[in-house]
Amino acid sequence: MSDARKIIHNTLIQSVAKVINTLLAVIAFGMMTRYLGTSGFGAFTAITAFLQFAGIIADMGLSLIAIQMMTEQKDDKSAIFSNIITFRILTAALILSIAPLISLFFPYPPLVKIGIAAMSASYFFSSLTQLFTVPFQIQLRMHLPSFADLISRVALLGGTILCIWFNIGIFSLIALITFTNIVQLGFLWWWSRTTTPFSFRYNIAIWKNIFHRSWPIALSIIFNLVYLRADTIILSLTRSATETGLYGAAYRIIDVLASFPIMFMGITLSRFADAWEQKDQERFGRYFQKSFDAMLLVATPLIVGAWFCADDIMALIAGEDFRAAGITLRILTGAASFVFFGSLFGHLINVINRQRVMMWGYAGIAIIGLTGYWVLIPRFGALAASWMTLGTEVLIAIIGGTIVMRTTKAFPLPRTAPKVLLATLCMGLFLWGMSFLPSSIILGALSVPIVLFSLCGATIIYGGACWSLGLIPKEVLRRNSGDNY
């Protein structure tokens, strides 16, 4: 099977799995928001936002480094993977054990501080889960991690139902999330032993190489976190728990959208790394253009869809109490669209070893973002946080793209933009017409929200328009297509 077909098939498998897993997660999320309410979910948002700081710092970009090193040294993959796993366990345990102690110095209520301590274990297991997907990414066998994710989502949904049924509070939900992360990690741990045997190892030469590659990424991640997560923390410290809950609910939906470009780049990254390592400029440029086209194809309709449906989406997913977060979702969806391109450029920066250059870009935007958050959020609340998030994501995409293009001399062109805009226009006209209908329709004994029909219809119309306009590459689905990606 060609690289093109492997990538397309893995993307399709992961996309289908992602849709199912996301649906299960969204149902569980909706049950949590309805159970906790805006104020209770505000406390939950404060807990997760604080730990996301520690969890993402603990990541240190090790998944990207593992792909890079295992692609470069194919004959020694097990040794490299074993050392990176050991490195990850020690660093993640250290960072995530310190986080609850730091939270004691923040003016959070006792509920939030106890929640941070209780949930830190969940982020430890999650950090290992990310690393254990690497062997499957390299071998383009992402159906196994997708299945492990599916099992954890089913457990999450079933456990959420039980927690709400017995009304045992927010800490039961925290324990449940930790359990599902352990389940997912367990499956990946077991399966990865059959593909890339590993053990706990310490090789000083490999560890020096890991640290040499990771510290610029880790520093960049810290700067990155300042403008990505500081908004929620500052909001939780300066505004009400209700407003924090509304913002956090909208941001959860954006996190789901942002996972798609990360998933796609996880599949294709080893191919980029191999092309760059082999100094195959033509192949790297072709991958770059195709990936840019894919991001444009998915990111563009999000903005139009959110413009028409944001209020109803929030009410449908999180409950009527969260309908007011629709305006926040509209703005954050614009930010998510730029995250697609920022994710593409950010992953390629690691492939071409320009992390130290990008670090200064992250530092500058961190200063801009943090200043804006401190000045604007106490006064204007969630709206200020949303607009600042959009602005920083635009800047990140511009800086990241500039660095990648100047270094690689590959310049992807928005050649598919006219067709994408035409397909999006068709979708937008449909959504505009649907906006004149009542909020729900009666089907037998059921009252079905019209937003469900709007989203399904918009997806079909946009997909059909893209197919008709030739935006979906039919040739890569053929058996003898070659390396057309």
Residue 447 has phi, psi (to 5 degrees) of -105, 110
For the chain of 485 residues, list the mean pLDDT of each consecutive stretch of 10.
55 69 85 91 90 78 77 74 87 88 90 92 87 76 80 90 88 91 89 77 81 74 72 90 92 84 77 84 90 92 92 90 93 92 89 83 87 93 93 92 92 91 95 85 68 91 92 56 48
**pLDDT score at 446:** 60
Interior/surface letters 13-26, b for 16+ CB within 10 angstroms, e for the rest = bbeebbeebbebbb
- Going by C-alpha positions, the residue among 140, 144, 137 that lies closest to residue 2 is 140
For helices 170-195 and 110-131, give the axis angle rounded to 10 degrees. 10
Enter the tokens of residue 6: 């492997």
| Residues paired with residue 447 on neighbouring β-strands, in sequence order | 442
Strand bridging mode 446-449 / 440-443: antiparallel
Single-letter residue type at 443: L
**pLDDT score at 222:** 72
- Burial class of 5 by CB neighbour count within 10 A (0 to 12, 13 to 18, 19+): buried
**pLDDT score at 476:** 46
**pLDDT score at 480:** 43
For helices 241-277 and 281-318, give the axis angle rounded to 10 degrees. 160
> Could you give the CA distance from residue 268 to residue 284 in angstroms, rounded to a whole number?
11
